[in-house]
Protein backbone atom coordinates (compact mmCIF):
# COMPACT_ATOMS: atom_id res chain seq x y z
CA UNK A 1 0.00 0.00 0.00
CA UNK A 2 1.43 3.37 -1.04
CA UNK A 3 1.66 6.18 1.45
CA UNK A 4 -0.59 9.15 0.81
CA UNK A 5 1.02 11.99 -1.17
CA UNK A 6 -0.66 14.42 1.25
CA UNK A 7 -0.46 14.29 5.03
CA UNK A 8 -3.45 15.86 6.82
CA UNK A 9 -3.15 16.71 10.51
CA UNK A 10 -5.92 18.61 12.30
CA UNK A 11 -4.80 20.40 15.45
CA UNK A 12 -6.83 22.91 17.41
CA UNK A 13 -9.18 23.83 14.52
CA UNK A 14 -6.44 24.09 11.88
CA UNK A 15 -5.87 21.49 9.16
CA UNK A 16 -2.19 21.21 8.31
CA UNK A 17 -1.84 19.87 4.75
CA UNK A 18 1.69 18.71 3.94
CA UNK A 19 2.63 17.53 0.46
CA UNK A 20 4.51 14.35 1.24
CA UNK A 21 6.60 13.34 -1.78
CA UNK A 22 9.94 14.92 -0.82
CA UNK A 23 11.89 12.43 -2.93
CA UNK A 24 10.47 14.14 -6.05
CA UNK A 25 10.23 17.62 -4.50
CA UNK A 26 6.50 17.14 -3.91
CA UNK A 27 5.59 16.91 -7.60
CA UNK A 28 1.82 16.97 -8.04
CA UNK A 29 0.91 13.62 -9.55
CA UNK A 30 -2.68 12.53 -10.09
CA UNK A 31 -2.89 11.01 -6.61
CA UNK A 32 -1.70 14.26 -4.99
CA UNK A 33 -4.31 16.28 -6.87
CA UNK A 34 -7.01 13.81 -5.82
CA UNK A 35 -5.83 14.03 -2.21
CA UNK A 36 -5.91 17.84 -2.29
CA UNK A 37 -9.49 17.74 -3.58
CA UNK A 38 -10.51 15.33 -0.82
CA UNK A 39 -8.82 17.51 1.80
CA UNK A 40 -10.64 20.57 0.47
CA UNK A 41 -13.96 18.76 0.80
CA UNK A 42 -13.10 17.80 4.38
CA UNK A 43 -12.12 21.37 5.27
CA UNK A 44 -15.38 22.70 3.82
CA UNK A 45 -17.57 20.12 5.52
CA UNK A 46 -16.00 19.55 8.92
CA UNK A 47 -17.21 22.07 11.55
CA UNK A 48 -14.17 21.43 13.72
CA UNK A 49 -11.86 22.82 11.02
CA UNK A 50 -11.75 26.62 10.87
CA UNK A 51 -8.84 27.10 8.47
CA UNK A 52 -5.88 25.38 6.82
CA UNK A 53 -2.16 25.69 6.19
CA UNK A 54 -0.57 24.11 3.11
CA UNK A 55 3.14 23.34 2.99
CA UNK A 56 5.61 20.81 1.59
CA UNK A 57 7.78 18.17 3.19
CA UNK A 58 11.52 18.51 2.78
CA UNK A 59 13.17 21.35 0.89
CA UNK A 60 10.41 22.13 -1.63
CA UNK A 61 6.84 23.34 -1.50
CA UNK A 62 6.12 21.71 -4.86
CA UNK A 63 7.88 21.73 -8.21
CA UNK A 64 4.57 21.31 -10.00
CA UNK A 65 3.04 18.59 -12.12
CA UNK A 66 4.82 15.26 -12.34
CA UNK A 67 6.44 15.57 -15.78
CA UNK A 68 6.53 11.79 -16.17
CA UNK A 69 2.74 11.78 -16.21
CA UNK A 70 2.62 14.62 -18.75
CA UNK A 71 4.87 12.86 -21.24
CA UNK A 72 2.24 10.49 -22.58
CA UNK A 73 -0.84 12.68 -22.45
CA UNK A 74 -2.73 13.67 -25.58
CA UNK A 75 -5.14 16.58 -26.03
CA UNK A 76 -8.04 14.97 -24.18
CA UNK A 77 -5.84 13.67 -21.38
CA UNK A 78 -4.15 17.03 -20.98
CA UNK A 79 -7.46 18.88 -20.80
CA UNK A 80 -8.81 16.37 -18.28
CA UNK A 81 -5.70 16.70 -16.11
CA UNK A 82 -5.97 20.50 -16.14
CA UNK A 83 -9.64 20.36 -15.21
CA UNK A 84 -8.94 17.98 -12.32
CA UNK A 85 -6.21 20.27 -11.02
CA UNK A 86 -8.36 23.37 -11.39
CA UNK A 87 -11.22 21.67 -9.55
CA UNK A 88 -9.05 20.55 -6.63
CA UNK A 89 -7.35 23.91 -6.18
CA UNK A 90 -10.64 25.74 -6.70
CA UNK A 91 -12.28 23.61 -4.02
CA UNK A 92 -9.54 24.55 -1.59
CA UNK A 93 -10.00 28.25 -2.32
CA UNK A 94 -13.80 28.09 -2.15
CA UNK A 95 -14.05 25.97 1.01
CA UNK A 96 -15.30 29.05 2.88
CA UNK A 97 -12.42 28.99 5.36
CA UNK A 98 -9.08 30.82 5.21
CA UNK A 99 -6.19 28.87 3.69
CA UNK A 100 -2.58 30.00 4.11
CA UNK A 101 0.32 28.68 2.02
CA UNK A 102 3.58 28.23 3.93
CA UNK A 103 5.99 28.15 1.01
CA UNK A 104 9.18 26.49 2.21
CA UNK A 105 11.19 26.14 -1.00
CA UNK A 106 10.60 25.71 -4.73
CA UNK A 107 7.05 26.64 -5.78
CA UNK A 108 7.16 26.06 -9.52
CA UNK A 109 4.46 25.41 -12.09
CA UNK A 110 1.56 23.67 -10.39
CA UNK A 111 3.25 24.31 -7.05
CA UNK A 112 3.11 28.04 -7.66
CA UNK A 113 -0.49 27.64 -8.78
CA UNK A 114 -1.29 25.82 -5.53
CA UNK A 115 0.18 28.73 -3.59
CA UNK A 116 -1.84 31.16 -5.72
CA UNK A 117 -5.03 29.24 -4.92
CA UNK A 118 -4.50 29.83 -1.20
CA UNK A 119 -5.88 33.05 0.24
CA UNK A 120 -2.58 34.21 1.74
CA UNK A 121 1.05 33.24 1.20
CA UNK A 122 3.87 33.27 3.75
CA UNK A 123 7.24 32.43 2.19
CA UNK A 124 10.53 31.25 3.56
CA UNK A 125 13.42 33.50 2.61
CA UNK A 126 14.71 30.52 0.62
CA UNK A 127 11.51 30.14 -1.44
CA UNK A 128 11.64 30.32 -5.24
CA UNK A 129 8.63 30.93 -7.49
CA UNK A 130 8.04 30.43 -11.21
CA UNK A 131 5.68 29.32 -13.96
CA UNK A 132 8.05 27.51 -16.34
CA UNK A 133 5.40 25.77 -18.45
CA UNK A 134 6.28 27.63 -21.67
CA UNK A 135 9.71 25.97 -21.43
CA UNK A 136 7.90 22.64 -21.87
CA UNK A 137 5.76 23.92 -24.73
CA UNK A 138 2.74 24.20 -22.42
CA UNK A 139 0.75 26.79 -20.49
CA UNK A 140 -0.10 26.60 -16.80
CA UNK A 141 -3.08 24.32 -16.40
CA UNK A 142 -4.12 24.73 -12.77
CA UNK A 143 -5.16 28.39 -12.87
CA UNK A 144 -1.86 30.24 -13.22
CA UNK A 145 -2.79 32.30 -16.29
CA UNK A 146 -5.85 33.63 -14.45
CA UNK A 147 -4.91 33.92 -10.77
CA UNK A 148 -1.44 35.37 -11.30
CA UNK A 149 -2.56 38.50 -13.23
CA UNK A 150 -5.42 39.00 -10.78
CA UNK A 151 -2.90 39.00 -7.96
CA UNK A 152 0.08 40.95 -9.33
CA UNK A 153 -1.29 42.65 -12.44
CA UNK A 154 -1.19 41.91 -16.15
CA UNK A 155 2.33 43.09 -16.95
CA UNK A 156 4.10 41.36 -14.10
CA UNK A 157 2.18 38.17 -14.70
CA UNK A 158 3.01 38.15 -18.40
CA UNK A 159 6.69 38.65 -17.63
CA UNK A 160 6.70 35.49 -15.52
CA UNK A 161 4.36 33.45 -17.71
CA UNK A 162 6.09 34.25 -21.02
CA UNK A 163 9.69 33.86 -19.87
CA UNK A 164 9.31 30.99 -17.43
CA UNK A 165 11.82 32.82 -15.23
CA UNK A 166 12.18 32.09 -11.52
CA UNK A 167 12.09 34.74 -8.82
CA UNK A 168 13.23 34.62 -5.22
CA UNK A 169 11.12 35.34 -2.16
CA UNK A 170 12.21 38.97 -1.90
CA UNK A 171 11.11 39.69 -5.47
CA UNK A 172 7.89 37.74 -4.95
CA UNK A 173 7.14 39.99 -1.98
CA UNK A 174 8.03 43.13 -3.91
CA UNK A 175 5.56 42.35 -6.70
CA UNK A 176 2.82 41.20 -4.33
CA UNK A 177 2.94 37.49 -5.04
CA UNK A 178 3.53 36.71 -1.34
CA UNK A 179 2.30 38.53 1.73
CA UNK A 180 5.21 37.90 4.11
CA UNK A 181 8.78 36.60 3.94
CA UNK A 182 10.25 35.04 7.07
CA UNK A 183 13.26 32.91 8.00
CA UNK A 184 12.72 29.26 7.19
CA UNK A 185 13.12 28.21 10.81
CA UNK A 186 9.95 30.09 11.81
CA UNK A 187 7.91 29.66 8.62
CA UNK A 188 5.23 27.34 9.97
CA UNK A 189 5.01 29.22 13.25
CA UNK A 190 4.50 32.52 11.41
CA UNK A 191 1.91 31.01 9.06
CA UNK A 192 0.05 29.54 12.01
CA UNK A 193 0.19 32.82 13.95
CA UNK A 194 -1.27 34.66 10.95
CA UNK A 195 -4.07 32.14 10.54
CA UNK A 196 -4.88 32.08 14.24
CA UNK A 197 -5.16 35.87 14.23
CA UNK A 198 -7.71 35.58 11.42
CA UNK A 199 -9.58 32.93 13.42
CA UNK A 200 -10.12 35.36 16.31
CA UNK A 201 -12.48 37.31 14.02
CA UNK A 202 -16.14 36.49 13.48
CA UNK A 203 -16.30 33.30 11.38
CA UNK A 204 -19.38 34.44 9.46
CA UNK A 205 -17.64 37.71 8.62
CA UNK A 206 -14.46 35.91 7.53
CA UNK A 207 -16.46 33.63 5.24
CA UNK A 208 -18.30 36.63 3.81
CA UNK A 209 -15.05 38.50 3.09
CA UNK A 210 -13.62 35.48 1.27
CA UNK A 211 -16.78 35.17 -0.81
CA UNK A 212 -17.15 38.87 -1.58
CA UNK A 213 -13.55 39.30 -2.74
CA UNK A 214 -13.56 36.12 -4.82
CA UNK A 215 -16.84 36.80 -6.62
CA UNK A 216 -16.50 40.55 -6.75
CA UNK A 217 -13.42 40.43 -8.97
CA UNK A 218 -15.61 39.05 -11.76
CA UNK A 219 -18.42 41.61 -11.32
CA UNK A 220 -18.88 45.22 -12.23
CA UNK A 221 -18.03 47.56 -9.38
CA UNK A 222 -21.69 48.49 -8.99
CA UNK A 223 -22.80 44.86 -8.70
CA UNK A 224 -19.97 44.01 -6.32
CA UNK A 225 -20.85 46.97 -4.08
CA UNK A 226 -24.47 45.82 -4.01
CA UNK A 227 -23.31 42.38 -2.88
CA UNK A 228 -21.18 43.99 -0.18
CA UNK A 229 -24.14 46.00 1.10
CA UNK A 230 -26.32 42.87 1.16
CA UNK A 231 -23.70 40.96 3.17
CA UNK A 232 -23.36 43.90 5.58
CA UNK A 233 -27.10 43.79 6.12
CA UNK A 234 -27.27 40.04 6.63
CA UNK A 235 -24.41 40.06 9.12
CA UNK A 236 -26.17 42.84 11.04
CA UNK A 237 -28.81 40.27 12.03
CA UNK A 238 -26.32 37.80 13.54
CA UNK A 239 -25.40 37.07 17.11
CA UNK A 240 -21.78 37.47 16.09
CA UNK A 241 -22.33 41.14 15.29
CA UNK A 242 -24.15 41.70 18.58
CA UNK A 243 -21.32 40.00 20.45
CA UNK A 244 -18.61 41.82 18.52
CA UNK A 245 -20.07 45.25 19.28
CA UNK A 246 -20.74 44.35 22.92
CA UNK A 247 -17.18 43.12 23.35
CA UNK A 248 -15.77 46.25 21.73
CA UNK A 249 -17.78 48.54 24.00
CA UNK A 250 -16.86 46.47 27.07
CA UNK A 251 -13.21 46.37 26.01
CA UNK A 252 -13.03 42.59 26.22
CA UNK A 253 -12.21 39.85 23.68
CA UNK A 254 -15.29 38.74 21.72
CA UNK A 255 -16.70 35.24 22.05
CA UNK A 256 -17.98 34.53 18.57
CA UNK A 257 -20.20 31.49 17.97
CA UNK A 258 -20.58 31.62 14.20
CA UNK A 259 -24.29 32.38 14.39
pLDDT tens-digit profile of 62-89?
Answer: 999 888 888 888 999 999 999 999 999 9
Answer whether residue 1 shows pLDDT above 60: no
Choosing from 3, 23, 113, 192, which is the catalytic residue?
113
Concerning whether 113 is annotated as a catalytic residue, the answer is: yes
pLDDT tens-digit profile of 101-156?
Answer: 999 999 999 999 999 999 999 999 999 999 999 999 999 999 999 999 999 999 99
The stretch 188-194 carries a mean pLDDT of 98
Q: Which pLDDT belongs to residue 69?
A: 86
Q: For the chain, list the domains and their CATH numbers.
A: 6-198 (3.90.226.10), 203-250 (1.10.12)
Partners of 56 in the beta sheet? 19
Q: Which pLDDT belongs to residue 2?
A: 57
| Helix, coil or strand: residue 39 | helix
Choosing from 69, 133, 171, 227, which is the catalytic residue?
133
Answer whether residue 201 shows pLDDT above 60: yes
Q: Which pLDDT belongs to residue 141?
A: 96
Concerning whether 3 is annotated as a catalytic residue, the answer is: no
The answer to whether the CB of 121 falls within 8 A of the CB of 175 is no
The stretch 193-207 carries a mean pLDDT of 97
Amino acid sequence: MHESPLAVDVRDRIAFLTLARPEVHNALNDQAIEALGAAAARIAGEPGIAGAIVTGAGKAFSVGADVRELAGQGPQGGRARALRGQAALGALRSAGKPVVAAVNGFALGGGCELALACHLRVASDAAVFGQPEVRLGLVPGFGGTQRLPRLIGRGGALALLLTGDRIDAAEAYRIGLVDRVVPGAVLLAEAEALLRRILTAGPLAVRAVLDLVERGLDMTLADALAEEAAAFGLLSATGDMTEGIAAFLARRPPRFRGA
